[in-house]
Amino acid sequence: MAQEATLIIETELPIAMTCADGTGIERGTILKLADPFTVSKAVALNDIPAGIAAGEKIASDGKTKIDVYRGGIFKVTASGTVTVGVPVVIATNAAGNDVQSAAVNAEQILGVPLETASDGETFLMELRPTYVNLA
């Protein structure tokens, strides 16, 4: 897939999370989280991050589980400038499978950049889905 999130260092194994049977998900897709324990392809800014697809889900293969990385070091693509150490979130144009720098007080953090990158560049990100309530 274009702009696939690529595993660089495997710090932990993926876990099985629930997904819809009817929709295909490619390996390396940034996933959003929904209730209960369900993932799907992220589509919009500040979607609740679930992780990154570790394997491919074939549409309508009768399975409702997909292997999901909840941690690790990945190569991902920047939408706009990202800065080392400043958390990133699922991007506005998440359909392109990229991420963007978190706004101040963002509550749905996907991970932390390990290097600075400009728009369209790839960079190393530590996947670390984090949820906080700042309101």
Partner 1 sequence: MADGNAQADIRGIDIDKLAKGFADEELVLKKFCNVSTTKAREIRWYQKTAGFLDSTDTTGITASQIANTSFKSRPVVVEQSWTRNTSYVRKYFVESPLISMEDIKDTDIDILATNVRDLVRAVSAQVDTRIYHVIVDQVTSVPFDGSTVTSNAATADGWDDAATGDPIKDLMLAKETIRNQRYNPEGAILYIHPTEHSHLLEFLISVKGSSIPQFASQKVQTGVVMEVLGLRVVVSANATTDYAVVFVPNRACTWKAFTPITSTVIDDPGIGKKIRVWEEGEAFLTDPHAVCGITDTVV
**Interface positions with partner 1 (CB under 8 A):** 7, 10, 13-14, 54-55
Q: How far is the CB of 14 from partner 1 (least distance, A)?
A: 8
Q: What distance in Å separates the CA atoms of residue 66 and residue 126, rounded to the nearest whole number?
A: 21
Q: How far is the CB of 10 from partner 1 (least distance, A)?
A: 5
- Closer of 9 and 104 to partner 1 (Cβ): 9
- Closer of 13 and 84 to partner 1 (Cβ): 13
Q: 108, 119, 118: which is closest to 51 by C-alpha? A: 108
- Closer of 54 and 78 to partner 1 (Cβ): 54
- Closer of 66 and 106 to partner 1 (Cβ): 66
Pull the structure tokens for residue 56. Answer: 């491919």
Q: 10 Å Cβ neighbour count for 131?
A: 10
Q: How far is the CB of 68 from partner 1 (least distance, A)?
A: 13
Q: 14, 13, 5: which is closest to 125 by C-alpha? A: 5
Q: How far is the CB of 72 from partner 1 (least distance, A)?
A: 9
Q: What distance in Å separates the CA atoms of residue 33 and residue 49, rounded to the nearest whole number?
A: 6
